[in-house]
Amino acid sequence: MTLISRYRVTFLLSLIGWGCLAIYAYKGSYVDENGVLIESFGFIPLFWLFQLLALVSLIYTALKHRKRGKV
């Protein structure tokens, strides 16, 4: 079993998280004519959520395959 196929969920979650951060950086932020800050703030917590889920997935997958190897 290859490394990528074993950790595909981890890679996918991490990639989605980095995509959220890239979208936030691409869209940027600005102050409109009324003095209100306009930004896509929702992508920042989404980035951290997906990175946390990727970490949990990494730990779960590593422990699952570690137990399987010992038996």
Q: What tokens appear for 67 in the block? A: 């137990």
Band of residue 3 on the pLDDT scale cut at 50, 70, 90 = confident
Residue whose structure tokens are 């196929």: 5
CA distance 4 to 9: 9
Q: Output the pTM of the full model.
A: 0.81
pLDDT at 71 over 50: no
Query: What local confidence, expressed as pLDDT, does residue 4 receive?
Result: 75
CA distance 37 to 46: 20
For 1, the enclosing helix (H) or strand (E) is none
pLDDT per residue over 10-62, tens digit each?
A: 999 999 999 999 999 999 899 999 999 999 999 999 999 999 999 999 999 99
Query: What local confidence, expressed as pLDDT, does residue 1 receive?
Result: 60
